[in-house]
Amino acid sequence: MVDFNLTEEQQRLRDLARDFAQREIAPVAVELDREQKFSQAIVDKYFEIGLLHSVVPEEYGGGGLSSLEGCVVAEELGAACAGVASYLGANHLGLTPLLIAGSPELKKELLPKHCAAPHLAAFCLTEPGAGSDAASMRSTATRDGDEFVINGTKHFITNGGVASLYSVFASEDLTAGHRGISCFMVPANTPGVSHGKKEDKMGQRAADTREVIFENVRVPARYRLGKGRDGFKIAMMTLDDSRAGVGAAAVGIARASLEAAVAYAKQRVQFGKPIAELQGIQFMLADMAMRVEAARLLVWQAAYRHDQGLRNTKESAIAKCFAGDTAMQVSTDAVQVLGGYGYMKDYPVEKYMRDAKLHQIYEGTNQIQRLVIANELLR
Ligand code: CAA
């Protein structure tokens, strides 16, 4: 049975998220982008309306939303400011390894405390020399009695300087490749954790992206997730989960770009009539709309499979890749529809275009998504 309708409750959730995004995020999006400013005030308000930890199960202090519902919310955030969507979404990304592979005791120890306040989490996988090839990481974790000692540098970490809890991937045996990697939960106030400088990015500038450095950081052995040395699979399963949500935020950028292009085309008069009456413009708008709708359906499909407990490796890679490419294409087309005005900072579309680019890069480049899709087809 296929049902494309949101329930009344889900529609209320979408309206809540849309209202929040348009009231609290959209009016400051340009300033946050210009000043490269992270806003804790937005995190606080997002927490107050109950959405910050909404995808964490209720038994651990979260809101118990499904992945599909999380995507409905993420689209609204992405339509208002992709940088803010990114840092609010990265909280869930940082918690997902714990949700997937933490023991019930560890979840009870860490999650209710995290979810009781406007805290953010961060996912520390990437390193300066290990981006697409995540298994080539050099961070190490060495057992010492009842503790692990973590050393290494994580790179381009969303929420790097503002998170209070990290999921950190490090190798217990550098000679074992991906089979040596474990995942640890590390509170940010643990001695030995420090941050690099905030990255000066092309887009999504509101997000706090920086290095996180671990120097002889000691965590209790119980903070290691899973069985140990299964961290690479935990990372891959986390990304299977999160890629639909990232795709949803990209749909938000594309939708906002389309809306801006439609509004402009209706009021911009050239050759004696609104440019919306020119077929050249109409064809562009129609192509943009097709891409937005198709991307949303792929995102919803990937999230739906996750909610059904079905493997969604292929579907989430397709959703993330198609939605990211859609955001790039549709925002570029929106700049084109607006012409010279589109290129100026007086209109929002140049920001959409800069923000969209990151959707083809983070959470695995869109070339890596194509590899994942091909591997799933051929295995
Ligand atoms: N679920 C479960 N297990 C999986 C899996 C999945 N989806 N994908 C792979 N595995 C398992 C494989 O079965 C294999 O298991 P065995 O040990 O039993 O053989 C193991 O993992 C290794 O798999 P591969 O041989 O396929 O691994 P690889 O080294 O060739 O890498 C890759 C595969 C897809 C390229 C992976 O490295 C990858 O996804 N790279 C991209 C990394 C990435 O997305 N980084 C994003 C960082 S987060 C971020 O950007 C967030 C942000 O800031 C907002």
Provide the pLDDT confidence category of residue 202 given band limits of 50, 70 and 90.
very high
What is the CA(372)–ligand 1 centre distance, in A? 8
Check if 362 has its Cβ closer than 6 Å to any atom of ligand 1: yes
Whole-angstrom Cα distance, residue 12 to residue 9?
5
Q: How crowded is residue 228: how many other Cβ atoms within 10 Å of its Cβ?
A: 17
| 38, two tokens | 């992270």
Check if 90 has its Cβ closer than 6 Å to any atom of ligand 1: yes
CB 211 within 8 Å of CB 157 = yes
Check if 159 has its Cβ closer than 6 Å to any atom of ligand 1: no
Q: Which residues, other chains included, contact 126 with Cβ-Cβ below 8 Å and sequence gap of 6+?
A: 134, 154, 155, 156, 157
Ligand 1 atom 12: residue of nearest CA: 233
Long-range CB contact pairs, 274-283, < 8 A, 24+: 275/337, 281/337
Check if 237 has its Cβ closer than 6 Å to any atom of ligand 1: yes
**pLDDT at 57 exceeding the cut of 70:** yes
Phi and psi angles of residue 5, each rounded to the nearest 5 degrees, phi first? -85, 140
Provide the pLDDT confidence category of residue 332 given band limits of 50, 70 and 90.
very high
**pLDDT at 274 exceeding the cut of 70:** yes
Provide the pLDDT confidence category of residue 120 given band limits of 50, 70 and 90.
very high
Share of the chain above pLDDT 70, in %: 99
Ligand 1 atom 16: residue of nearest CA: 179
Q: Which residues, other chains included, contact 304 with Cβ-Cβ below 8 Å and sequence gap of 6+?
A: 67, 68
Check if 242 has its Cβ closer than 6 Å to any atom of ligand 1: no
**pLDDT at 317 exceeding the cut of 90:** yes
Mutate to test the pocket of ligand 1, among 236, 358, 362 (most ligand atoms within 8 A of CB): 236
Q: What is the pLDDT of residues 336-375, one digit of tens each?
A: 999 999 999 999 999 999 999 999 999 999 999 999 999 9
Provide the pLDDT confidence category of residue 50 given band limits of 50, 70 and 90.
very high
Q: Is the dihedral of CA 196, 198, 200, 202 positive or negative?
A: positive
Ligand 1 atom 5: residue of nearest CA: 236
What is the CA(364)–ligand 1 centre distance, in A? 9
Q: Which residues, other chains included, contact 267 with Cβ-Cβ below 8 Å and sequence gap of 6+?
A: 274
Whole-angstrom Cα distance, residue 268 to residue 279?
14
**pLDDT at 1 exceeding the cut of 70:** no
Check if 132 has its Cβ closer than 6 Å to any atom of ligand 1: yes
Q: What is the pLDDT of residues 300-315, one digit of tens each?
A: 999 999 999 999 999 9
Ligand 1 atom 25: residue of nearest CA: 178
CB 53 within 8 Å of CB 63 = yes
For the chain, the farthest-separated pair of C-alpha atoms sits apart, in whole angstroms, at 80
**pLDDT at 264 exceeding the cut of 80:** yes
Provide the pLDDT confidence category of residue 3 given band limits of 50, 70 and 90.
confident
Phi and psi angles of residue 31, each rounded to the nearest 5 degrees, phi first? -65, -45
pLDDT at 4: 83
Check if 233 has its Cβ closer than 6 Å to any atom of ligand 1: yes
Phi and psi angles of residue 210, each rounded to the nearest 5 degrees, phi first? -160, 175
Share of the chain above pLDDT 90, in %: 98
What are the residue numbers of the active site? 363
What is the CA(342)–ligand 1 centre distance, in A? 38
The mean of the pLDDT values for the chain is: 97
Mean of the pLDDT values across residues 70-86? Answer: 98
pLDDT at 217: 98
Q: Considering only 2-6, 82-86, 201-205, 371-375, which range has the smallest mean pLDDT?
A: 2-6
Ligand 1 atom 34: residue of nearest CA: 372
Mutate to test the pocket of ligand 1, among 232, 313, 320 (most ligand atoms within 8 A of CB): 232
